[in-house]
Amino acid sequence: MTSRRDQLQSYQFMNQRVISAFVMRETDPAQSPLRRGIGALFAGLMVAILVAAVYGIYGVLTRSGPDQWQTDGSVVVERETGASFVYLRDKLHPALNFTSAKLAAARPNPQVFRVAAKSLTDVPRGVTIGIAGAPASLPDPGQQVRLPWSMCAVASTDPRTVLLVGSTPPGTEGRPLGDRALLVAGDPAGGINLVWQGRKHLIRNARVTVPALFGAVSPTPVGVAWLNALPSGADIAPIDVDDRGGDSDAVEGFDNGDVLFNETGSGRQFYLVLDDRLAPITPLQQAVLDAAFPSDPQEISAADVARFDPEPLDPDADQSVQGPATVPELAPITADTAACAVTRDAAAPPDLLIGTPAAALSNAVPTTGAPLADAVQVPPGRFELVRSAGGIQLITDLGARHPLPDPDVAAFLGYAPENATEIPAALLNTIPAGVTLDPAEAVKPVATVD
């Protein structure tokens, strides 16, 4: 009689033949059909064990693991809620915002850990710290925008200004102003300015000078922020003449204040008689003088010009700020369009564009305050790190600028201070000022209300 062992072996043999018939289409193959699979399974298991061992050893050597964040200066973000904490002196301190947590860590670009709320249970808590009003989030350093910046004045019955940080006016409708000029009114003191080649020139005695230069025109109202953002050029005013009407010691036969001219191949060259010299002046200066002191210019010959040896009014004057030599053509700012001053280089005057549709500027964040731009637009999720006379400042996509007490603080936020963009202070000051991002303030407890 067969034993149970013999019966089991017979059963296994029968199953093996059935499996072989299905897998290899042969009931009695030379080797088992599952031999390779079993070998592969064993090899894979050994590799998995080796990998786990390597990671385990690495975790021991580097002290990484579920509690790695429990080191002084670690920034912790609760995975489920996004709440920010900073681990200091064996306590987990809630922070008012993510920026405060990074500042409180007081180290360049501190490591940020995203930890489940369950893992934070039973960890000793410290007091809530932080700076109220600091940015809730900080974009990646690769999201920094740079020049150009565009300050746009929208023409309407209620003039407003919009600052575009890191961009030019959208669309292609904007046209370069070129050698034309804008006549604008936006000075808080009630003055009228001529805007030409990126600079503003205050017109003195505008009630008389403007009609003499341009006829019956009305200046376009603009926001004070737009005007403040433009660099100033020389005022348009009559040239001061000492002892006006008295005999000139330098130009025999003429009085101080007389205007002379000589016909040249390129047109009239005007001269102003002064007590110590004969000074060449531009057609615009002659027109301004004529408006203030009406007179008919007197013609002199080229020989007389050579005899009197003309000398410039101010040989050391910066010609780039002197304004136009001739009376420029005025360009209007039509209704529901904007004139935009585009700054591409902090050391140079902005380029002026006209005709930008006002509707293209509607995404900017509104602000309040007379010297400020009425709205500021930073591309969503982007930022700008700027440098000006006041130091380094962070500009967020909420349209606020946050001063840093020291350039090194930028590294605490994960940004390189050497990447800060140079921006004219007059342009930067049109952005609302936010709180200063000071690490010393970030570690202070938040005041509680009883």
pLDDT tens digits, residue range 370-406? 678 999 999 999 999 999 987 999 999 999 999 999 9
pLDDT band for position 46 (50/70/90)? Answer: confident
Share of the chain above pLDDT 70, in %: 86
pLDDT band for position 55 (50/70/90)? Answer: low
| Section 139-143 average pLDDT | 97
pLDDT band for position 320 (50/70/90)? Answer: confident
pLDDT at 64 over 50: no
3-state SS assignment for residue 429:
coil
pLDDT at 326 over 90: yes
Name which of 214, 146, 209, 144 is nearest 182 in CA terms.
214
Domains, in order of start, for the chain: 4-62 (no CATH), 149-235+326-361 (no CATH), 246-321 (2.40.50.910)
Task: Please report the pLDDT score of residue 56 as a whole number.
Answer: 56
Task: Please report the pLDDT score of residue 21 as a whole number.
Answer: 63
Task: Tell me if 227 sits within 8 A of 200, measured CB to CB.
Answer: yes
| Section 109-118 average pLDDT | 94
Residue whose token pair is 């019955």: 157
Cα 91 from chain centre: 38
| Section 72-81 average pLDDT | 96
Please tell me which residue, 343 or 18, carries the higher pLDDT value. 343
**What is the DSSP-derived secondary structure letter of residue 208?**
H
pLDDT band for position 60 (50/70/90)? Answer: very low
Ramachandran angles phi, psi of 8, nearest 5°: -65, -45
Cα 435 from chain centre: 18
Q: Whole-angstrom Cα distance, residue 438 to residue 442?
A: 6
pLDDT band for position 62 (50/70/90)? Answer: very low
pLDDT band for position 445 (50/70/90)? Answer: very high
pLDDT tens digits, residue range 170-228? 865 579 999 999 999 988 888 999 999 999 999 999 999 999 999 999 999 999 999 99
Name which of 180, 262, 191 is nearest 214 in CA terms.
180
